[in-house]
Structure 1
């Protein structure tokens, strides 16, 4: 963890959270909520990009997103295609039609680089948050 974040955590532990304690049940509830997929735009875009490492149609993508608990595009598929179009316009996706007139979307090299960067950033944020939460019960 970055030094400035460690210092912030230390100060928070000493001043703000010195009297705060969490039971194991509280900690479990917090982690469950963290993993629920509260459908933030950044999380949705990350999930879409992760799924498009391999070519998929919009329909297949919707099914996989639903499997991850993301329901934003149910009964609103147009919003998914708007997102796909914007990723394509930003140079992260390529799309092509197959012989059955199905349109497939897939990350290109630029998109894979952006995905890796986003995953690294998300991992850092999760580590900081978990360290803060775990430090509260000490």
Structure 2
């Protein structure tokens, strides 16, 4: 699906933000501030089925947030229907826990499972979590080993 703001973003980069740059030190401090606000307990506030659905959607290929959101909506998972920003919060938390990794392609951030994420998902299926709600805490602990 085409990004309707792609030309706008490119124009902003060329004109408005062309002289704006941040030092690596400033970028690191901003990242630290963001990461310190997201604690482990924040991850537990998300629905376990939602986390599993996201991981399943990334099982075969990397996807960007909009594709993940669309796939969740098609599965009638409406957790992020009125607050799509929470999906990105969850994706960043999973990335911080090294369950997901990300890469930029054509001005879009794509998410993919890491080896740890694949083990996490395999453990979920092996233990039958795909058929019933699973304990996110237990799986996160397994994934962090």
Q: Could you say which TM-score interval applies, normalised by the shorter chain?
A: 0.5 to 0.7
Summarize the Cα distance change of 1:122–1:59 in structure 2 as closer, same or farther, 3 Å threshold. Answer: same
- Residue 84 of structure 2 corresponds to which residue in structure 1? 77
Which residue of 110, 116, 127 maps to 2:122?
Answer: 116
* Deviation for aligned residue 1:125: 6.4
Asked if residue 55 in structure 1 is aligned to residue 96 in structure 2, the reply is: no
Secondary structure of the equivalent of 2:101?
A: strand
- Looking at structure 1, the residues matched to 81 and 130 of structure 2 have their Cα atoms a distance apart, in angstroms, of 31
- Looking at structure 1, the residues matched to 120 and 89 of structure 2 have their Cα atoms a distance apart, in angstroms, of 19
Is the 2:100–2:111 Cα contact (8 Å) retained in structure 1? yes
* Deviation for aligned residue 1:78: 1.0
Determine which structure has greater relative contact order: mean sequence separation of CA pairs < 8 Å that are 6+ residues apart, divided by chain length.
Answer: 1
Secondary structure of the equivalent of 2:128?
A: helix
- Looking at structure 1, the residues matched to 78 and 52 of structure 2 have their Cα atoms a distance apart, in angstroms, of 15
* Deviation for aligned residue 1:58: 0.3
Summarize the Cα distance change of 1:75–1:117 in structure 2 as closer, same or farther, 3 Å threshold. Answer: same
* Deviation for aligned residue 1:92: 0.8
- RMSD (Å), alpha carbons: 1.8
Unpaired runs of 5+ in structure 2? 1-45, 133-145
Task: Choose between structure 1 and 2: higher helix proportion.
Answer: 1
